[in-house]
Each structure stands twice: as structure tokens, then as C-alpha cells.
Chain A
Amino acid sequence: MTSEDRILKDEELVSAAYSGDKEAFSELYTRYISQIYRFIYYRVTDQDEAEDLTETVFVKAWEALPNIQLRGFYFKAWIYRIARNAVVDRHRTHRPSATFDNQVTRSDPGDSPEEQYQNNEVMTHLNKLITRLEPDLQDVILYRFFMGFSHSETSSIMNRSVIYVRVLQHRALKKLRDLMKLEISEHD
């Protein structure tokens, strides 16, 4: 394998993009577009808005790149923070104090209608409950369970310690459990 075959690390691409290299940035874009889209989609639950916001996030990232400190820079955490801020801004301008607020969900088009219905039911139900959590708890649920990030990755993205993330996770799951129990007792 020659040096040219090597897949460049994010840090190398960031360094090149920092210098104005659009191709390097486009490579970062290719790596993260699906993840960022998914992250945003779970927050806005609207395909068109998620697409618009995803593009906005990368445009903002490109514009902000010249101002970063390259030493110790972690692109993944940084791009997610931009995405999170974009979603918060969107909620501020469109639907104040709402996250996980739209109950419309979308499944994998490959699923059968029954599976899609069930998936949507699960998503709708979970969204309803998660909306009732504090923003920090919503974040930790999103990063850990919707996006599948480890505690360490979640801590980087949230700019908190791993210990704090673990505590938040514990608190979030407890609250969710209590909400589920409450709902069950109300149904009974």
C-alpha cells in the first residue's frame, strides 16, 4: 500500500481544509453527511428540514474553519456541536422550546408496511416521552442511543466529562422509566 492509498485521518483533512482546500473539506463532508443528517433528522423529524439544516451545518463549518485552533481539534465533536446549535436555532425561530417535537417519523423504505407502522409507533411514542426531559437529558439520549456514540464520544460532543455523561445517562433513563410507568398507570 503506497502512502497515497492511505485513508487520511480527519486531522489531516481538517488541516488541509483549514488552509482552504475544498477537496479535503469535501472528503470530510462525505464522511459525515449521513451521520449529521441522521442526528438532525432525529431532532426535527422532517426530511426536508433535515436536509436543509445538514447543508447549512457544513457551510457554517467551512466558514468557521479558519478560526479554529488546530492543536487538539476534534472535528467530529465540533461538527456535531454546530449541528446541535443549528437545531437549537431552528427551534428558536420556528418552534420555541420544542425538541423531538414532531411526531411524524419515517422508516427505512425497505421495511414492509407493517414494520414501518411498528417502527413509527415506537418512534412516535419515544419522541413523546423524550420531549418531556430536560435538554441535557434529551441530548444524552440522542447521542448515546439514537446515534450510538460511546460515553467517551458523547462526552467530547457535549463538552462534558465522561463521568458527567454517565450520570446524565442514568438520570435520563430513570426519568424515562418513570414517565413510562406514569403513562401505563394512566392507561390503567
Chain B
Amino acid sequence: MIDPSADILAKCLEAIEKGELSVEAALDQFSKDDPDLRELIKVAGVFRDIPEVKPRREFLVNSPVRLMNSIGSRKSRTNSIYRRPVIFSKILISFPRRLSFIIASLSLLIFLALGSGTVMAANTTIPGDWLYPVKLGIENMRLAIANQSQAVELRLQYVSRRTGEIKALTDYGRYDEIPAAAIDLTNKVQDAAQSLVELKTEEPILGNELAGEFRASLSNNQEVLKSLLEKVPSPAQPAIGHAIEVSNHEKESLNNTYPGITPGEILPSPTLPVEKTNNGNRPEATPSHPNGNPSNDGNPERPTQKPHVKPTVTPPGNNQEQLPGRSGGQPQGTHEPDPGGKPTDNSGH
């Protein structure tokens, strides 16, 4: 049989939770002659001060895509009986099919409303700029429409791009933006590494090659980040340090996943992008190496013939950004990393 005190306490708490009684009223009504119960109601009241925890917006946006990728394998045993209600069509639900449609629509709207110049300008922005979200939206759109291997290559690019942005933020002295940018970089590194792991089952040869490039690129980026550690104030250092640490960890993990290529087999590629100014006054963001040295330009060890020919997809209206030119073509536009080209030298800044 239930302890009567437990039952009374439960009823009292229920009345408070439903708003039927205030705490004071409940204390009066239920625990007038029971000091023990009074104390327990007060203890339960302590939990009302607990701050509500909410997931990060970024997590809510990105995790559905990762989930859908993870659960893609189970086949439907019957015809789907689920039809998404119309009401859900009116709200943003971030799953791939819907996400790609929404992002594509938004980007098209942005493009039409502001003109291609805005999108091009957005590509050169850094965190804190008002057009920066447009840049991220375009990146997400490209990911949404890319096939698996193209998506991997894009993710690798975005890692370098985020590193370039942190470099640019440091150059401009915008240190407040650095921790968030470094966290974003860390997430991008992990996403890229994860996508490489997933690519192994589908396209092991290409995966192997990209893993080699990614390791080299990470080494290069780490050098840049290490050089920044000395320049940024202490509040910005932990996030950069963490990004370096995660990069190291992912490199080691990739060595296990793709043991076929040893680190250094492919020399660091000049994958860091250049964050250009809108008005020409802003210094270029990133050298491919902290010392400004070219990496492997013209290096004969660097494969020039790719084993897999990948189609290049260019979304209409965005000639600033190309999917990586695995088919042998060079990326168009000036801001994209050029896998075989010269790194941008910003020594003049």
C-alpha cells in the first residue's frame, strides 16, 4: 500500500504543476499540520529555477540531414501510408528533400532580389558580415544537391574555407567572432571526416584519394591555426586549440579508415580559400600556408589524373562556386580553392 505522505505529496505537486494552486496555497492546504510535507514541497520548488536547456540552432538544422543519411539503408516493406500533412508543408522541416527545396528556393529568391553581385559578394564574406548567412545558405544548397562524393569534396573545401575565415577575422582584429568560427570549423572538420568514412563503402578509391588530400589539407590548416594562436587574445585561444586538437584526432582516425595512404604521400595542397573584400580594401584572408609558401604547386607526385570522373554541377546563377573539378576541369571563379593551382599569396598584407 502506498505511503499516504507520498500520495498527498504527489497530489499537491500535481495541483501546483497544473496551475490549480500556487505554492503558498498548496503549502497551506496540504501541509498545514505536516512540517515534513511542507519541506518536501519546498525542495520540489527548487527545481523551478532550473534553466531550460535548448539544443543549438545549428544542431537542429544539421542533425536531420545527418540522421537521414545514417538511416538510409532500411528498405520499405510496404507502400508508405504516411502523407505529410499540408500544415507541415508550411513550416520549415529540415530534411534533405525539403531542405534542398527550401534552400534552393531561398537562394533563388535572394539571387533574383539582390542580383548575382550579392551572391558573389556573399562568397567573400566572413563571420559577422551581414551577408555571411547567405554564404552559408549557398554552401548548404550545394551540399543538398551534390551526390555523395561531390558532397565530400565540398565538405573538404568548407573546412579550408572556415580556416581562411578565422585567419581573416584575426587579420581584422575581429576577435569576438573567432570562438564561434572555430567551433564551426571544428564541426566542419568532423563532418568532412565522417563523410569520408561513409564514402569508403561506396567509392573506396576516390575516398582513399580524398582522405589523403584531406589529411594534407588539415596539416596545412593546422599550421595556419597554430600561427594564429600567438596572435589572438586569450579568450579566443581555447576554441582554436580545440579545432587543432580535433583536426589531429580526425587525421588519426582517417589513418585507420584509409590505411592505404600514408600521411605525406600527397603533399599539402593549396586548399585554403581567399576571402576577398567587397570593396577591395580588406586584406585577403588566407595564405595556403602561414609562411606564405606555396605547397605543392607543380609537384609531380600530386596525381593529375583522377581515377574517378565526377560530373561537375553548377547551380544556375552561381558561377562563383564550382564543385571540385574531379573531372579534370579547374574550378571557376577566383575564391575557390584550386586543387592544382597556386595558392594565393597574401604576403602583401
Contacts and interface: CB of A to CB of B under 8 A. Distances in A.
9 contacts: A7-B85, A15-B81, A22-B72, A24-B80, A34-B55, A38-B53, A50-B55, A58-B71, A66-B74
A51 interface: yes
Given A21-B81, A167-B3, A170-B5, 14 more contacts: A4-B83, A5-B87, A16-B81, A19-B78, A22-B68, A50-B55, A51-B63, A119-B51, A120-B51, A122-B50, A150-B14, A173-B9, A173-B40, A176-B43
Contacts of A95: none
B186 to A, nearest CB: 9
Interface string B25-58: 0000000000000011001101101111111100
B2 interface: yes
B214 interface: no
Interface stretch (A69-77, A80-88, A103-111, A131-139): A103-111
B349 interface: no
B7 interface: yes
Interface string A161-184: 001001101110110110010000
Interface string B69-84: 0111011111111111
A112 interface: no
A62 B68 CA distance: 10
Interface of A: 2, 4-8, 12-13, 15-17, 19-27, 29-30, 33-34, 37-38, 41-42, 47, 50-51, 54-55, 58-59, 62-63, 66, 105-108, 111, 116, 119-120, 122-123, 126, 141, 144-146, 148, 150-151, 163, 166-167, 169-171, 173-174, 176-177, 180
B151 to A, nearest CB: 18
Contacts of A166: 2, 6-7, 9-10
Nearest to B60: A33
Contact of B17 (A22, A23, A150): A150
Contact of B85 (A6, A29, A107, A151): A6
Given A107-B51, A173-B9, A30 B64 contact: yes
B82 A24 contact: yes
B84 A27 contact: yes
Nearest to A62: B71
Contacts of A145: 44, 47, 50
Contacts of B47: 126, 141, 145-146
B174 to A, nearest CB: 20
Contacts of B85: 4-8
Residue from A66, A111, A116, A144 having most chain B Cβ neighbours under 10 A:
A144
B110 interface: no
A177 B35 CA distance: 12
A145 B14 CA distance: 11
Interface string B205-227: 00000000000000000000000
Contacts of B309: none
Given A19-B77, A29-B64, A169 B10 contact: yes
B66 to A, nearest CB: 6
The 10 closest A-B pairs by CB, nearest first: A20-B76, A16-B82, A170-B6, A145-B47, A24-B82, A119-B51, A166-B10, A21-B80, A37-B55, A62-B71
Given A34-B54, A59-B71, A106-B53, A13 B44 contact: no
Nearest to A6: B85
Contacts of B14: 150-151
A170 B51 contact: no
Contacts of B158: none
B56 A58 contact: no
A8 B70 contact: no
A55 B191 CA distance: 14
Contacts of A50: 55
